[in-house]
Amino acid sequence: MTDTPETPVKPAAPAPRPMGRFARAMDSDVGYAFRRSPVAIISSAVTVIMVLAAIFAPLIAPHDPFNPATLNLLNGLTAPGVPSAFTGDTFILGTDDQGRDIFSTILYGLRISLFVGFAAVTFALVLGVTLGLIAAYVGGWTETIIMRIADIQLTFPSILVAMLIFGIAKGITPIEYRDQVAIAVLILAIGLSDWVQFARVVRGATLVEKNKEYVQAARLIGRSSFVIMGRHILPNVLSPVLVIATISLALAIIAEATLSFLGVGAPPTQPSLGTLIRIGQTFLFSGNWWILVFPAATLLVLALSVNLLGDWLRDALNPRLR
């Protein structure tokens, strides 16, 4: 170590206060765009509230809808906000025919819907990003095969692919385990139906990045392909992935609800929002609208706010639109 000569530094402007991660994020370009957009603020607030409500469902919910001991059949089909004729109990959003509090079932349903949504998108993201990176970096036959499969899958709507995977997985699992693995199968089906978008975008971005100088430099100093892909290229192709992940989350939540609504998703023992809507539909003609309307409204608000958030993020991260 040689002593570097002390450069005389004039105590100019006082150093800016070190900022926390959050403050720094809010100070960035995207953070600025965020503060300026009421749509972004409201939709992200709604999303965060729903996620928190789902996580803390057991603490918030007035009843445990899956514990039969807490249910009273006399409370069955109580209208929202009206005291039950038999027990005098009041339920904010009413009850179903078993006397289950709709508010509680929605909280627990939200939990399953969000869990499946996040897990499916994570799965699709990891799969798609990995395959996209490999396809672009390795090239040749590997690339042809991966992208051909992606093209073929893209010919079909993802909901159809998800249904098909669900059906096949159901056929493979023995009957006695079907309900237990249903959620895992659902995640797998939605995830597998959705990886193509990630793979295509990452491949496109990687094709651009892999010829840049920093990648060549990394190759020259003898880093392995694995490290170059994971440590050098990956961080530079992630920002479009974030946008797709947000939009995919909305699509995955809707896909899950659709599959569950059609009876090929979450089992009755673990009802998601889609299952609740399916159940609510059977009460429509008897005038008990609240069993359907509240879960449906929850799903709609959730899907809409995640969608708006994704739209906003796409515009905010697109330098051409600034």
Partner 1 sequence: MLSFILRRIFQSVLVLLVVGLVAFAMFRFVGDPIDTMLGQERTMEDIDRLREVLGLNKPFFIQYWDFLVRAVQGDLGISYRQGRPVAEIIVERLPATLELALVSGFIALFAGIVLGIFTAIRRDGWAANTIMTVSLIGVSLPTFLIGVLLIYGFGVGLEIPLPFTDATINTGGMPTFGRGDTVDLGWWTTGFLTTDGLRSIILPAITLGLYQMTLIMRLVRAEMLEVLRADYIRFARARGLKDRAINFRHALKNTMVPVITVTGLQLGSIIAFAIITETVFQWPGVGLLFINAIQFVDIPVMAAYLMLISVMFVCINLIVDLLYVAIDPRLRVDGKTA
Our CB check for partner 1 shows the closer of 131 and 299 to be: 299
Q: 32 vs 156, which CB is nearer to partner 1?
A: 156
Number of Cβ within 10 Å of residue 96's Cβ equals 22
204 vs 267 by CB, closer to partner 1: 267
Amino acid code (one letter) for 291: I
- DSSP assignment of 263-307 equals TSSS-TTS--HHHHHHHHHTTGGGT-THHHHHHHHHHHHHHHHHH
Nearest Cα to 111, choosing from 45, 57, 63, 64? 57
Which residue number, 75 or 307, has a Cβ lying nearer to partner 1? Answer: 307
Q: Minimum CB separation from partner 1 for residue 95, in Å?
A: 19
Residue ranges in contact with partner 1 by CB under 8 A: 148, 152, 155-157, 159-160, 163-164, 166-168, 170-172, 250, 254, 257-258, 261-264, 277, 281, 284-285, 287, 289, 292, 296, 299-300, 303-304, 307
Residue 104 or 113 having the CB closest to partner 1: 113
Query: Least CB distance from residue 119 to partner 1, whole Å?
Result: 19
> Contact at 8 Å (CB) between 226 and 156?
no
**Least CB distance to partner 1 at residue 208 (A):** 21
Residue 283 C-beta: closest distance to partner 1, Å: 10
Q: Which is nearer to partner 1, 129 or 308 (CB)?
A: 308
Q: Give yes or no for a contact between 127 and 200, defined as CB atoms under 8 angstroms apart.
A: no
What angle (nearest 5°) sits at the alpha carbon of residue 237, between those of residues 192 and 207? 90
- Of 111, 108, 86, nearest to 99 by C-alpha is 86
| Closer Cβ to partner 1, 134 or 254, answer by number | 254
| CA atoms of 76 and 84, how far apart (whole Å) | 8
Which DSSP state fits 66? T
Which residue number, 52 or 300, has a Cβ lying nearer to partner 1?
300
Looking up tokens 């989350």 gives 249
Which residues does 66 contact at the CB level (< 8 Å), separation at least 6?
Answer: 108, 269
| Structure token pair of residue 253 | 């939540």
Q: How far is the CB of 111 from partner 1 (least distance, A)?
A: 19
Closest contact distance (angstroms) between CB of 199 and partner 1 is: 17
Question: Residue 112 CB, nearest distance to partner 1 (Å)?
Answer: 16
Smallest separation (angstroms) from partner 1 to the CB of 92 = 21
Q: Toward partner 1, which CB reaches closer, 215 or 276?
A: 276
Residue among 28, 48, 234 nearest 136 (CA): 234
Nearest Cα to 112, choosing from 244, 236, 270, 225? 270
Residues with Cβ within 8 Å of 267's Cβ and at least 6 positions away in sequence, in order, are 178, 179, 182, 183
Q: In this structure, what are the phi and psi dihedrals at residue 95, rounded to the nearest 5 degrees? A: -130, 165
CA distance 49 to 39: 15
